[in-house]
Amino acid sequence: MGVTSAASSSYVAMTGIYKQYGDYEASKDVNFEITEGRIVALLGPSGSGKTTILRMLAGLEHPDEGDIHIAGQRVNEIVPAKRGIGFVFQNYALFRHMTVFDNIAFGLDVQNEDRGKIEKRVTELLDLVGLANLRDRYPGELSGGQRQRVAFARALAPRPHVLLLDEPFAAIDAKVKHDLRQWLKATIKKSGITSIFVTHDQEEAVELADEIIVTNNGRIEQMGTPEEIYGQPATPFVAGFMGKAKGIMNYEKLVGFDKEEDFDWAIIRLEFVAVYKKDADHGNKSAVEHGVVEAVTFQGTRLSMQIRIGEHTLEAEQPIEANMFTVGEEVDVLIYRLFLCSNTDVHIAKNKALEPGQVFYI
């Protein structure tokens, strides 16, 4: 979690940030610091305050309280243009009546840079984003992915300290998203710029970011590497938000789990559950539940199932080339582990009935 003062090692930091719009508290005691050169995701559901944080870093909004530091300088009173940030808007906000070249050159142009230097820098950036052959096109003639690249190059042109991206993939076709993410990550790493982006898509955050800041209700729930956020959630919210998760009550009725005081409910993730044919030999007979398949949905490469175990209905997935299951079939269900939750805490509980030495992967 965040540290209370902006240490000199941190490159971007927010300290004790509060922000309110009327009655709505968009930021409540937001603290974090980011090391130079990292890619950080601000991840959370809509209305969780992630975009407000980004806009405050850019200077598009101003905090009611607290300090913002960028590159060792307190920037609260500094106008957006002088903060040394590059901003990529959600819809890119490219200048529609300017060519790709003029778009990228704009930031240098308004600083009255020397024409030769502009030409050199823009050419450099066009090569970086692979659009050298489209320099005289207009944004209207580009695909979504190409527009994103132009926006990215335009933001980088004046050599900002920090790159801020607001939902960079919101306007991109689902089909090409994955490739573009890989490209963006590689290109950011190549340019070495500290980057912060907002997203509500955990897949995007995990794929792209070195570190993730999870926001909820105007607060920061947790900050850490994708692995930490995923495997060691700090709060019930993070445990439930990441992955495909479901909350259940009376978890002690499941084989291998005991009731713990204050921990009244549990979160079960898709990958905590394995489903076996009744007659399969999986060596964990003592740890399984007996369940009935209630619904089967074919999802491309995977089979998604709803399985009833006593009072609980669980979700499970199987690769398509594994066993086929039919509705009404009786199955063995193995629950490896659960996140047990109290009001504020969460910790992992393993299935006690599993034989020691049993290895599993998530």
Contact 18, 66 (CB under 8 A): yes
Residues in binding contact with another protein, number by CB under 8 A: 52
Give the footprint of another protein on residues 299-318 (CB under 8 A): 311-313
Using the minimum distance from each CB to another protein, give the nearer residue, 272 or 276.
Answer: 272
Give the footprint of another protein on residues 240-279 (CB under 8 A): 240-241, 245-250, 265, 267
**How many CA atoms does the CB half-sphere of 179 hold within 13 Å?**
9
**How many CA atoms does the CB half-sphere of 181 hold within 13 Å?**
22
Distance from the first to the final alpha carbon of the chain? 25
Contact 250, 79 (CB under 8 A): no
Give the footprint of another protein on residues 100-139 (CB under 8 A): 106-107, 110-111
Q: How far is the CB of 189 from another protein (least distance, A)?
A: 24
Q: Per CB under 8 A, does 286 bind another protein?
A: no
Contact 282, 334 (CB under 8 A): yes
Stretch that binds another protein, among 4-12, 171-179, 182-190, 236-244 (CB under 8 A): 236-244
Q: Per CB under 8 A, does 62 bind another protein?
A: yes
174's CB contacts (< 8 A; 6+ apart) are none
Contact 111, 160 (CB under 8 A): no
Q: Per CB under 8 A, does 208 bind another protein?
A: no
Q: Per CB under 8 A, does 343 bind another protein?
A: yes
Q: Enumerate the β-bridge partners of residue 277.
A: 331
Q: What share of the chain is helix, strand, coil (3-state, %, to 5)?
A: 30, 35, 40
Q: How far is the CB of 263 from another protein (least distance, A)?
A: 12
Using the minimum distance from each CB to another protein, give the nearer residue, 181 or 312.
Answer: 312
Tokens of 167: 């939902």
Using the minimum distance from each CB to another protein, give the nearer residue, 149 or 154.
Answer: 154
Q: How far is the CB of 294 from another protein (least distance, A)?
A: 10
- The strand pair at 12-21 and 73-74 is best described as unpaired
Residues that bind another protein (CB under 8 A): 18, 20, 28, 58-62, 64-65, 80-82, 85, 87, 89, 91, 93-98, 106-107, 110-111, 140, 154, 158, 217, 219, 235-237, 239-241, 245-250, 265, 267, 311-313, 341, 343-344
